[in-house]
Structure 1
Amino acid sequence: MIQKKNYQAQEILKKISYLLPIAIFALSLWVLDRQLQPLQLTEILVSFAGIEPLSVVFASAFTFLSYIALISYDFLAMRYIGQSVLYKEILRSSFTSTSISYSIGFNPLTGGSLRYRLYSAYGLTVLQIGKVITFCSITFWLGICFVGGLLLSFYPIDLPASLSFYEIYLRVLGVCLLFGLIIYLVFCQQQRTFIIKGDEIRFPNVKTALVQILISSLDSIFAGSALYFLLSAGGEISFPYFMAMFLVAQTIAYITTIPGGLGVFEALMLLALASHLALADIIVALVMFRIVYYLTPFLVGLIILSYSEFNARKEILINLHKKTYLTLSSFTPQIFAVLIFFAGIILLFSEALPHQMEGMRIIAKIVPLSLIESSSLLSSVIGVLLLILANGLWKRIDGAYLLSVVILFLGSIFSILKGLNYIESGILFAIFLLLLPQRQHFYRKSSLLNQSFSRDNIIAIAIVVLSFIWLGIFAHEHVEYSEELLWQFGTNMHVSRFLRSVVGIAIVLAIFGLMRLLGGSSKDLKLPDEDEMVTVKEIIRTSADTNGNLVLLEDKYVLFNEQKNTFLMYGISGKSWVCMGDPIGNSKNVKELIWDFHEMANLHQGWTVFYEVSEKYIPYYLDIGLTLIKIGEEARVQLSDFSLDGSSGKDFRYSVKRMEKDGYHFEIMQPEDIPAHLQELKSISDAWLETKNTKEKSFSMGSFNIEYLANFPLAIIKKGEQIAAFANIWMAANKDEMAIDLMRYDPTISNTTMEYLFTKLMLWGKENGFKYFSLGMSPLSGLENRTLAPLWNKIGSTIFTHGEYFYNFKGLRAYKEKFNPMWEPRYIALPKGIKQMFVLKDIALLISGGTKEIFTK
């Protein structure tokens, strides 16, 4: 009952997280509409034409200074935590995370996640990165507290008459800001510390705190100055009053988490400045401020991040000798997703604004009015479809590609037919020509209705549609609306066309939403039934990968491809959807299956993870936006080279002779004979677990389960007729590989028992024509612990070297090395950024079965 209530509460919070930003944005548009009622669109266009280039230059200069101050936050943070990172790396990381998070919204989350990802590559620990993120966030607010507190507390705020009631609240807010600043300085003076989950965090010294206040105050002043110089051309306004209102508007917009505070910031600034400046001048200044302070740095930051992502992928793939993927073409779907979304915005906003009458008169002489009106309506429908299809293109869905190609071409034609909009038509046709030859990048056969839409996807589409409606209403502000307008047609009936477009868009979104609601997920979340297990066993029987046998534990969910000749197995822990190993089956279907799994995880608001994977499908994991962490190496012995002869086989000869001298012998027990020896096998297993002081693990390794063991032959060590040790044998198709999973032995017998079992089993495999024998993975083996190694490599290498209490990592590697194996790396493919900490915890819980068991051997 409690879990059900928690689930319901989470669902409610999730819906609120979707609806609240959209509702705030809609409210901001309503405020803007009321403020701009006296204004006409032509006045704004005239003001745009009259903007002074020098004002834009000054705004750009102060934007540059503001971002220099923002970047200084990170330099100061590195000094605070006592870490030395190259200046150029701090500069790149800080600018990228700040410029992108300012435009996307959720600054602490997006900026923090980017900082975690970028700084972890330079060897910073999780705690150190957390300190940097916290330090930068506090620094930002210190400037708000100092500048805003002084202005709101001591400067006479002359609000417009309609807002004079709020003056007392602004005074109180100013005092609170200064009070918070004083408390912070007192804590810094006292060098106070606080504990978070056992880690001690101290306040910086007073000197550092004063530098924080200085650079964050300069940041606030520079950002405000960028807008102030854009406004100054339209009239005189007091700079202190402007700064006070700017900081209040910026802070509220920041808190709403709407991307860049879009709409909220503008509405608040209009309320504060409407009595001092012309409305048209304010609107033009705010739009230019968006372009200069937000959009331009965002595009630069996005280019830098994309270049970094490309280089990171390039380095991984070069190391894996997969040179076919070393081109920018791997980013083609994402590039076209952005272009398609942009094309949708163009079509919608074009329908919201009145068409040029000259073009309408020309086209009306050539094309019937009915075709003009139909083209206008279909253009708006195509616009909203492009917004939806952008998500499908990002995810490489072939249906999204085909539909995008068709409607881009149609959209370019409709743009001409509805009013001779040749520029709009040219943009759409250019995107069509660029997209047309890119068919090979959109290979997924997934349904468009079953694709997942993230919170950001939905909010972005909602913001564009609401902006379209608001812009259309504003452009036709002085028209009296009535039901009859919907049915009026004519070359000068812009309002009627706009209203029909609104209705058409509403119908398209309603139909799409209803079809998704009725369609649900194409993949059900359930453990495999008997028929599915029969299919799984058939796929395993023809597979060259022995790891597929783990599915026979029947503790994992299974996802098939459409033809049911390939599958992957996965478990769920927390928000992590963890696929165990690479997909099993036909390699031609793996790429699509990986995307299906990613889609399903997204539909359930989960994180996609692939655990203990090889290098084989790494490009596909990178394609879905995951990154890689090396977790160890698997040892594989080439059986044709394995022998007891010569000096290399000396130790193995000794083990065999000693065990056989003591009366032990090796044999293979067939699956049908296992039930007769169940109690004997179980007693050995129980004794082994008790001696090792451990419990059965799961997910990534077998456990003692008679239904599981009955699927395989067992390698048995006997003394007389008494079983002393056993291990189940996995066999791949075409005798490509054999491996063992569950290994148990009587702890009272010789410690060379397992070496004897391995030796005899490998000789048996060699005699029966098997090519390789897998000794399994050596965890954390092969990780580099160098100064510039990634954070995980340093942690893993340290645990490998000094982690004997938890697990004998070094001993296991040394033991397997005796067999002279080939070492093949194994990885986790997981989301980027700060999510990695939670994913690694979820995997540990999934394997161990509980929090307590994580810390036992």
Structure 2
Amino acid sequence: MNSKKNNRAQEILEKISYLLPIAIFAFSLWVLDRGLQPLQLNEILVSFTDIELWSVLFASVFTLLSYIALLGYDFLAMRYIGQSVSYKDILRSSFTSTSISYSIGFNPLTGGSLRYRSYSAYGLTLLQIGKIITFCNITFWLGVCFVGGSLLSFYPIDLPGSLVFYEIMLKALGVCLLLFLICYLVLCLQHRTFSVKGYEILFPDVRTALLQILVSSLDSIFAGCALYFLLSHSGEISFPYFMAMFLVAQTIAYITTIPGGLGAFEALMLLALAPHLALETVIVALVMFRIVYYLTPFLAGLIVLSYSEFNARKEILINLHKKTYLTVAAFTPQVFAVLIFFAGILLLFSEALPPQMEGMRIIGTIVPLSLIESSSLFSSMLGVFLLILANGLWKRVDGAYLLSVAILFLGSIFSILKGLNYIESGILFAIFLLLLPQRKHFYRKSSLLNQSFSRDNIIAIAVVVLSFIWLGIFAHEHVEYSQELLWQFGTNMHVSRFLRSVVGISAVLVIFGIMRLLGGSSKDLRLPDEGEMAKTKEIIRTSTDTNSNLVLLEDKYVLFDEPKNTFLMYGISGKSWVCMGDPIGNSKNIKELIWDFHEMANLHQGWTVFYEVSEKYIPYYLDIGLTLIKIGEEARVQLSEFSLEGSAGKDFRYSVKRMEKDGYHFEIMEPGEIPAHIEELKSISDAWLETKNTKEKSFSMGSFKTEYLANFPLAVIKKGDQVAAFANIWVTANKEEMAIDLMRYDPAISNTTMEYLFTKLMLWGKENGFRYFSLGMSPLSGLENRTLAPLWNKIGSTIFTHGEYFYNFKGLRAYKEKFNPIWEPRYIALPKGIKQMFVLKDIALLISGGTKEIFTK
């Protein structure tokens, strides 16, 4: 019952997270519309020509100073945690996290995720990174508390008479901010600590706290100055009043979680400045502030981040000798997704703004009116189509590519026909020419209706559409709207064309939404039925991957490709959708199947994870935006080289002679014989589990189930007719590889039993023509513990070296090394950033079967 309530509450919160930012943005546009009623669009456009170059230069200088102050947050944070990271690395990490998170939403999680990705690569622990993120967020608020609190408390805020009540509220807010600041300083003076989930976190010393206040205050003041100097008549308002209102607007915009506080910040600043300055001056200054303070650093940060991501991908693929993927072309879909989204905005906004009358006059003498009107309507509908298709391009869907090419071409034609907009047409045609030769990068044969749209996708489309409607209403606010306007036609009937465009894009969005609802997802969540299990067995028989046999446990979901000759198996733990191993089957369909799985996880708001994968399909995992961490190495013995002869086989000869001297012998038990021995085998398994003080594991390894074991021959060790040990044998049809999964032995017999079983089984495999014998994975082996190694490598290497209490990692590696195997790395492909720690927890729970079992041997 509680679980259902929790799920219901989670669904409600999820819907609120989608609707609240959109609702706040719509309300902000309404406030802006009311504030700008005295103005007309052409007055604002003319005001842009009046802006002075020196004011833009001053704004740029103060923007630079503000971001330099923001860099100080991270330098102070490094000093606070006592770590030494190079200035260059701190500079890059701090700039990318702040410039991007400020523009896509004043969201501490965004900046935190980016900081985690950067600093974990420099060897910082999760706790240290958490301290940095917390320290930087607190530092930001300290500046707001000091500057805002001081101004609101001690400077007389001269609000209009109708807003006197808000003046009292602002005074109270200022006092609260200063009280918070004083409490923080007192705690720093006392050097107090606080506990978070058992970790002690120390307040910084007073000197560091004062530096925090100084740096963040300078950041706030410099940011305010950037806007202040863009107000060409700023002398008409006092700087203290302006700064107080600026910080109030910035703080409220932060809380709204709208990307960059867009709309909310502008509405609040307009309300604060309109009584003192000309409306057109305020609007022009706010637009220029967006460009100078947000957009320019965002683009710079995006370039730096893309370069870093490209280098990270390049390093991974070079290490794997996959040089064919080392080109910028790997990011082509993302680049064109952004361009297509921009093209959609261009088509929509051109419909909202009045056209050039000269162009309309010329085109009206050449083109029939019906063609002009239909071109205008179709342009807006094509614009909203492009907003939707950008998501499909990002995900490399071929249908999105074909439609985008067609729409760009048609859009460039319609731009001419609707009003001789040759600049708009040229931009669309240029994007068309750039996209046309990129067909090979869009290879997914997937339905556009089944593509998942993230919260950010939906909010971005909603923001653009709402902005289009608001801009059109504002541009034509002098017109009295009526139903008759929809049916009026003429070269000068711009309002009518705009209203028809609103109806057209509304119809597109409604129809697309209904089709998605009716279509649903083609993949349902259920364990495979008998027919599907039969199909997996057919695929397994032609597979070269012995791990494919794990599907026969029937404890995992199965996802097939369209022809049903390839599948992957997965489990769900928390928000993590974990695929066990690489996909199995026809390699031509692997790429598409990986994307299908990623889409399905996204549709259910889950995180895509591939556990214990080889190097074979790593470029595909990188394509869907995952990163890799190494979790160990698999040992594979080349059976043609394995022998009991010579010094290398001395230990194996000893094990064989000793066991056979004691009366043990090796044999293969065929699947048909297993039911007759099942009780005997179960008693051995139960005794083994009891001795190991553990429960059956799942997901990534077999468990004792009669139905499961009946699929395989067993390698057994007997003393007389009594079974002493057994292991089920995985084989591939072409004899490429053999392996064992479930290994159990009677605890009362010699500890050389399993070595004897391995030895005899390898000799049996060699005699029967198998090429390799897999000894399974050695967890955490092969990870380097260098100073600048990634965070996971350092943790894994430390556990491998000193983790004997939990598991004998070193002993297992040393034991398998005796067989002189070939070591092949194994990885987890998982999302980037802070999500990784939750994913690793989910995988541990999935494999162990419970929290308690994680810590048992």
Regarding TM over 0.5, the answer is yes
> Letter of the aligned partner of 2:433 in structure 1?
L
CA deviation map 1:150-191 (0-9, x unaligned): 000000000133423210000000000000000000000111
Task: Give the distance between the partners of 1:104 and 1:136, measured in 2 at CA.
Answer: 18
**Residues 463-478 of structure 1 aligned to structure 2 (within 5 Å):** 463-478=463-478
Structure 1 partner of 2:662: 662
> Letter of the aligned partner of 1:238 in structure 2?
S
Q: Tell me by how many angstroms 1:237 deviates.
A: 1.2
Task: Give the distance between the partners of 1:106 and 1:693, measured in 2 at CA.
Answer: 50
Task: Give the distance between the partners of 2:46 and 2:541, measured in 1 at CA.
Answer: 74
Structure 2 partner of 1:158: 158
Q: Tell me by how many angstroms 1:733 deviates.
A: 2.2
Structure 1 partner of 2:833: 833
Structure 2 partner of 1:807: 807
**Residues 107-506 of structure 1 aligned to structure 2 (within 5 Å):** 107-233=107-233, 236-506=236-506
Structure 1 contact 344–385 (Cα < 8 Å) conserved = yes
Structure 1 partner of 2:824: 824
Structure 1 contact 567–585 (Cα < 8 Å) conserved = yes
CA RMSD of aligned residues (A): 0.6
**Residues 616-695 of structure 1 aligned to structure 2 (within 5 Å):** 616-695=616-695
Structure 1 contact 234–278 (Cα < 8 Å) conserved = no
**Counterpart secondary structure, 2:228:** helix
Structure 1 contact 578–610 (Cα < 8 Å) conserved = yes
CA deviation map 1:799-832 (0-9, x unaligned): 0000001000000000000000000000000000
Structure 2 contact 233–277 (Cα < 8 Å) conserved = no
> Letter of the aligned partner of 2:739 in structure 1?
A
CA deviation map 1:751-779 (0-9, x unaligned): 11000000000000000000000000000
- Report whether the alignment pairs 1:758 with 2:758: yes
* Alignment coverage as a number of residue pairs: 857
Task: Give the distance between the partners of 2:319 and 2:615, measured in 1 at CA.
Answer: 10
Task: Give the distance between the partners of 2:67 and 2:800, measured in 1 at CA.
Answer: 42
**Counterpart secondary structure, 1:735:** coil
> Letter of the aligned partner of 1:217 in structure 2?
S
Structure 2 partner of 1:521: 521
Task: Give the distance between the partners of 1:113 and 1:500, measured in 2 at CA.
Answer: 43
**Residues 29-108 of structure 1 aligned to structure 2 (within 5 Å):** 29-108=29-108
Task: Give the distance between the partners of 2:292 and 2:782, measured in 1 at CA.
Answer: 48
Structure 2 contact 228–234 (Cα < 8 Å) conserved = no
> Letter of the aligned partner of 2:179 in structure 1?
F
Structure 1 partner of 2:564: 564
**Counterpart secondary structure, 1:230:** coil
Task: Give the distance between the partners of 2:798 and 2:247, measured in 1 at CA.
Answer: 47
CA deviation map 1:130-161 (0-9, x unaligned): 00000000000000000000000000000133
Q: Which runs of 5+ in 1 are unaligned?
A: none
TM-score computed with the length of structure 1 as normaliser: 1.00
- Of stretches 303-312 and 228-237 in structure 1, the one that deviates more from structure 2 is 228-237
State the identity %.
Answer: 88
**Counterpart secondary structure, 1:665:** strand
**Counterpart secondary structure, 2:784:** coil
Q: Tell me by how many angstroms 1:46 deviates.
A: 1.0
Task: Give the distance between the partners of 1:642 and 1:197, measured in 2 at CA.
Answer: 51
Task: Give the distance between the partners of 1:753 and 1:391, measured in 2 at CA.
Answer: 57
Q: Tell me by how many angstroms 1:234 deviates.
A: 6.1
> Letter of the aligned partner of 2:140 in structure 1?
F
Task: Give the distance between the partners of 2:344 and 2:681, measured in 1 at CA.
Answer: 66
Task: Give the distance between the partners of 1:390 and 1:850, measured in 2 at CA.
Answer: 41
Runs of 4+ in structure 1 deviating by more than 3 angstroms, as ranges, are 232-235
> Letter of the aligned partner of 1:774 in structure 2?
S
> Letter of the aligned partner of 2:535 in structure 1?
T
Structure 1 partner of 2:781: 781
Task: Give the distance between the partners of 2:584 and 2:436, measured in 1 at CA.
Answer: 33
Structure 2 contact 634–823 (Cα < 8 Å) conserved = yes
Task: Give the distance between the partners of 1:46 and 1:402, measured in 2 at CA.
Answer: 40
Structure 1 partner of 2:3: 3
Task: Give the distance between the partners of 1:747 and 1:162, measured in 2 at CA.
Answer: 86
Task: Give the distance between the partners of 2:23 and 2:120, measured in 1 at CA.
Answer: 37
Structure 2 contact 232–281 (Cα < 8 Å) conserved = no
> Letter of the aligned partner of 1:384 in structure 2?
V
Structure 1 partner of 2:795: 795
**Counterpart secondary structure, 1:63:** helix
Task: Give the distance between the partners of 1:853 and 1:482, measured in 2 at CA.
Answer: 69
CA deviation map 1:3-25 (0-9, x unaligned): 11111111110000000000000
**Counterpart secondary structure, 1:734:** coil
Q: Which runs of 5+ in 2 are unaligned?
A: none
CA deviation map 1:432-488 (0-9, x unaligned): 000011001001011000000000000000000000000000000110000000000
Task: Give the distance between the partners of 1:774 and 1:662, measured in 2 at CA.
Answer: 28
Structure 2 partner of 1:545: 545
**Counterpart secondary structure, 1:667:** strand
> Letter of the aligned partner of 2:18 in structure 1?
Y
Task: Give the distance between the partners of 1:147 and 1:416, measured in 2 at CA.
Answer: 53
Task: Give the distance between the partners of 2:279 and 2:341, measured in 1 at CA.
Answer: 30
Task: Give the distance between the partners of 1:544 and 1:586, measured in 2 at CA.
Answer: 11
> Letter of the aligned partner of 1:528 in structure 2?
P
Structure 1 contact 412–426 (Cα < 8 Å) conserved = yes
Task: Give the distance between the partners of 2:183 and 2:277, measured in 1 at CA.
Answer: 38
Q: Tell me by how many angstroms 1:525 deviates.
A: 0.7
> Letter of the aligned partner of 2:302 in structure 1?
L
Q: Tell me by how many angstroms 1:512 deviates.
A: 0.3
- Report whether the alignment pairs 1:589 with 2:599: no
Structure 1 contact 52–233 (Cα < 8 Å) conserved = no
Task: Give the distance between the partners of 2:298 and 2:145, measured in 1 at CA.
Answer: 26
Task: Give the distance between the partners of 1:163 and 1:429, measured in 2 at CA.
Answer: 51
> Letter of the aligned partner of 2:610 in structure 1?
F
Task: Give the distance between the partners of 2:630 and 2:741, measured in 1 at CA.
Answer: 22
**Counterpart secondary structure, 2:699:** coil
Q: Tell me by how many angstroms 1:106 deviates.
A: 4.7
Structure 2 contact 341–390 (Cα < 8 Å) conserved = yes
Structure 1 partner of 2:718: 718
Structure 1 contact 55–233 (Cα < 8 Å) conserved = no
Q: Tell me by how many angstroms 1:232 deviates.
A: 3.4
**Counterpart secondary structure, 1:740:** strand
> Letter of the aligned partner of 2:849 in structure 1?
G
Task: Give the distance between the partners of 2:139 and 2:117, measured in 1 at CA.
Answer: 21
Q: Tell me by how many angstroms 1:732 deviates.
A: 1.0
> Letter of the aligned partner of 2:347 in structure 1?
L
Task: Give the distance between the partners of 2:226 and 2:522, measured in 1 at CA.
Answer: 51
Structure 1 contact 70–216 (Cα < 8 Å) conserved = yes
Structure 1 contact 44–283 (Cα < 8 Å) conserved = yes
Task: Give the distance between the partners of 1:159 and 1:852, measured in 2 at CA.
Answer: 61
**Counterpart secondary structure, 2:236:** coil
> Letter of the aligned partner of 2:67 in structure 1?
Y
**Counterpart secondary structure, 1:150:** helix
Q: Tell me by how many angstroms 1:196 deviates.
A: 0.7
Task: Give the distance between the partners of 1:472 and 1:165, measured in 2 at CA.
Answer: 35
> Letter of the aligned partner of 1:425 in structure 2?
S
Task: Give the distance between the partners of 2:473 and 2:854, measured in 1 at CA.
Answer: 60
Structure 2 contact 396–442 (Cα < 8 Å) conserved = yes
Structure 1 contact 784–797 (Cα < 8 Å) conserved = yes
- Of stretches 589-598 and 233-242 in structure 1, the one that deviates more from structure 2 is 233-242
Task: Give the distance between the partners of 1:528 and 1:314, measured in 2 at CA.
Answer: 38
